[in-house]
Structure 1
């Protein structure tokens, strides 16, 4: 089962939920992040799949927009106080099974949840520390959500994260002369090209490369 479940209410935060899920799927792998529009196969029963997935997930992200609390269907039913509400079921299943439930507030103006504004069974959600997602700073906030999940879920690895294990490359392009210094453990021997001076201190087991001079091109209702 996916370790991360993205929950939302149709008519409130589905666009943000899709954006968050796609980014996390790119970072962690498609099979490790659940969103109903992506993860429920044709012919499957929504209620059974959602209930089972939210009960077995490690982290439930609850995407909360401006209308998350007040949203109801055309008949005035299926609000969060309705036992048939899917978002309500997802949260309660996660509570019961001990998953980490994280509210994600969409935008700068959506206030933190108040226990008195929630149905009694959902009131504990207000005590859970929230994350904020601002569409005005999408890249930064997506990175924060991903980093938080890496800390919360053992074995979850961000495949897009940069690795500094390939050694140190130091370039002073456009200079006829210069000085570059690197101190600490290095991987391999130092290499210096062009006019300049280089100094490396510490164990040298990887590689330090310095270039002086001209650079070279490289390449359902909820």
Structure 2
């Protein structure tokens, strides 16, 4: 079960959300990150899967770009104002389940929507601390996003069978050295990762 859910609007900042997805899956693994276009099998009931994943994820990252709030349908109605808008449904489901929801602002100038701009069941989003992924120094911004997510979900990417890394010096290759001792001298092990063989 993926532990991170990416919520996004398809018409909004596609290239940046793709970079976010690539960074997260590259760091933590594809199985840890749910993205609707890639994580739902062909022929599956996407509505049931979306609701279940939104309810059961540990962290939902709401990717908000410049077109996220004001995207409209053909009759001019904001998508976020439609009761069946999937972005609205996903966020509302995660908030109702008590999951951690993190707004992620894509770009240098994107602003977090205000409470009065959002439907009542997701108005809480406006009060949540956001992260920003700016276009300038994008690689560094993505590294920071990954580091923040690792802090929120400390064992993400390790899987149940992989224990946390032990604290201590990293294991290195064994180096074998040959020493010639004469005249009653002594030989000592030079270091913990070196073996000295008397000739």
TM-score w.r.t. length of structure 2? 0.77
Matched, 1:112 2:112: yes
Q: CA RMSD in A?
A: 2.7
> What does residue 32 of structure 2 align with?
32
Query: Residues of 2 paired with 1:151 and 1:89: CA distance?
Result: 27
Q: Within the alignment, does 1:64 sit opposite 2:54 as a pair? A: no
Closer, same or farther in 2 for the Cα pair 1:49/1:14, shift >3 Å? Answer: farther
Give deviations 1:74-125, integer Å, cap 9, x for gaps: 2334611211100001001100111110001011111232112212221100
Aligned length: 173
**Which residue of the partner structure matches residue 185 of structure 1?**
none
Per-residue CA shift, 1:23-53, capped at 9, x if unaligned? 1111111111010111011011222111111
Q: 1:75 to 1:164 in 2, by over 3 A?
A: farther
The 5 Å alignment of 1:1-222 reads 1-77=1-77, 79-157=79-157, 165-166=169-170, 206=192
Compared CA separation, residues 124 and 43, structure 1 to 2 (3 A): same
Q: Which runs of 4+ in 1 moved over 6 A?
A: none
User: What are the superposed Cα offsets for residues 133-163 of structure 1, whole Å, 9 maximum, x if unpaired?
Assistant: 11221111111111111111141148xxxx9
Partner of 1:219: none
Distance in 1, matches of 2:191 and 2:52, equals: 49
Contact 1:21–1:34 (CA<8 Å) still a contact in 2? no
For residues 45 and 34 of structure 1, the distance between their equivalents in structure 2, rounded to whole angstroms, comes to 15
Contact 1:78/1:85 (<8 A) preserved: no
1:70 Cα deviation from its structure 2 partner: 0.7
CA–CA separation in structure 2 for the residues paired with 1:114 and 1:31:
33
Unaligned runs of 5+ in 1: 169-187, 192-203, 209-222
